């Protein structure tokens, strides 16, 4: 694609080799796409797949859609060079991720995103159960973070009343997403940023989860214990904080705490981490909601 950017053409047509469609239909669609003067356009998408179409993406839902691998692939893409030039090192972009990179760039620079209806219903759309690898997801999320203001990615937080806590919450959410897809470096970067805004129980718990995933069990346990202490102090919200934490079952939490302390006395750090983690997950549904417990 880099070489094509030096040509006189105004847009690039990318056709997925896996799409099953007649050559005359491809030619007709391509001609229609080449005639466009502006915007990013897709064709040959399976609207029945249950996934989001590219045209449904917004700054508000794009991170979640990437993390859930819930974006419908299109068989043909018409990409204006204004978008191609805005992409990262596009020689490293995998074909299955290209459409999403383009959508991020289009949203960032204000280009219209449209879907061209096919005149034929005979094509076989590409609907794999899984489109993006974990590596693809991590790179796409990093690209989205670099292209948008964090407030635009998470617009529903209490930005006016609790700006710093909202910033911290954004990066906790991103860290949890990186943890889910196995990008410990990305998670740690987000946690380091969040620490600038608020020292919260979630920060400590997420650090503990990362430490556990990397085999640093003693460090993980220490973080979980500190997190539980902060959760305990934040059970009642006096209005100072945006978030309040209401434990789902104090009885279960107390059992987990006792079991965790017993495990520590027996020097079973792995068991202690498991028990303290369960106590935290009963304090705060955040971890279950994001699928990391």
Regarding whether 118 and 219 lie in a shared domain, the answer is: no
Cβ count near 206 (within 10 Å): 27
Of 117, 147, 177, the one marking the end of a domain is 147
Q: What's the distance, CA 244 to chain centroid? A: 24
Regarding whether 275 and 165 lie in a shared domain, the answer is: yes
Q: What is the pLDDT of residue 1?
A: 42
Regarding whether 19 and 107 lie in a shared domain, the answer is: yes
Phi-psi region of 107 (alpha: psi -120 to 50; beta: other; left: phi over 0): alpha
Tokens of 4: 């094509």
Residue 152 lies in a domain: no
Q: What is the pLDDT of residue 280?
A: 96
Cβ count near 8 (within 10 Å): 4
Regarding whether 179 and 91 lie in a shared domain, the answer is: no
Regarding whether 120 and 246 lie in a shared domain, the answer is: no
Residues of the chain with pLDDT under 50: 1-7, 120-123
Residue 202 belongs to domain spanning: 157-289
Regarding whether 161 and 141 lie in a shared domain, the answer is: no
Regarding whether 180 and 209 lie in a shared domain, the answer is: yes
* Residue whose token pair is 């030039």: 85
CATH of the domain at 181: 1.25.40
Q: How many residues does the structure list for the chain?
A: 293
Of 103, 118, 147, the one marking the end of a domain is 147
Of 113, 147, 181, the one marking the end of a domain is 147
Regarding whether 262 and 134 lie in a shared domain, the answer is: no
Regarding whether 7 and 143 lie in a shared domain, the answer is: yes
Regarding whether 237 and 178 lie in a shared domain, the answer is: yes
Regarding whether 178 and 124 lie in a shared domain, the answer is: no
Q: What is the pLDDT of residue 52?
A: 86
Regarding whether 17 and 130 lie in a shared domain, the answer is: yes
Q: What is the pLDDT of residue 94?
A: 82
């Amino acid at each position: 694609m880099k070489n094509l950017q030096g040509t006189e053409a105004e847009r690039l047509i990318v056709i997925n080799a896996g799409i099953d469609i007649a050559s005359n239909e491809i030619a007709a669609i391509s001609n229609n796409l080449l005639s466009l003067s502006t915007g990013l356009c897709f064709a040959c998408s399976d609207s029945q797949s249950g996934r989001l179409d590219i045209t449904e993406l917004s700054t508000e839902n794009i991170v979640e859609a990437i993390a859930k691998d819930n974006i419908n692939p299109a068989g043909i893409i018409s990409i204006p060079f204004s978008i191609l030039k805005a992409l990262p090192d596009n020689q490293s972009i995998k074909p299955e991720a290209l459409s999403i990179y383009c959508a991020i760039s289009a949203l960032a620079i204000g280009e219209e995103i449209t879907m061209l209806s096919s005149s034929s219903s005979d094509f076989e759309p590409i609907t794999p159960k899984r489109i993006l690898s974990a590596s693809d997801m991590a790179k796409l999320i990093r690209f989205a973070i670099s292209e948008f203001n964090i407030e635009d990615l998470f617009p529903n937080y209490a930005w006016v009343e609790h700006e710093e806590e909202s910033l911290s919450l954004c990066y906790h959410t991103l860290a949890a997403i990186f943890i889910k897809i196995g990008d410990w470096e990305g998670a740690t970067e987000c946690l380091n940023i969040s620490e600038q805004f608020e020292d919260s129980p979630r920060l400590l718990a997420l650090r503990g989860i990362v430490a556990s995933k990397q085999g640093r069990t003693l460090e993980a346990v220490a973080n979980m214990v500190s997190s539980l202490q902060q959760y305990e102090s934040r059970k009642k919200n006096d209005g100072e904080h945006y978030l309040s934490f209401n434990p789902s079952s104090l009885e279960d939490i107390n059992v987990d705490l006792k079991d965790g302390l017993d495990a520590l006395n027996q020097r079973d750090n792995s068991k202690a981490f498991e028990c303290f983690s369960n106590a935290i997950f009963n304090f705060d549904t955040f971890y279950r909601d994001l699928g990391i417990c």
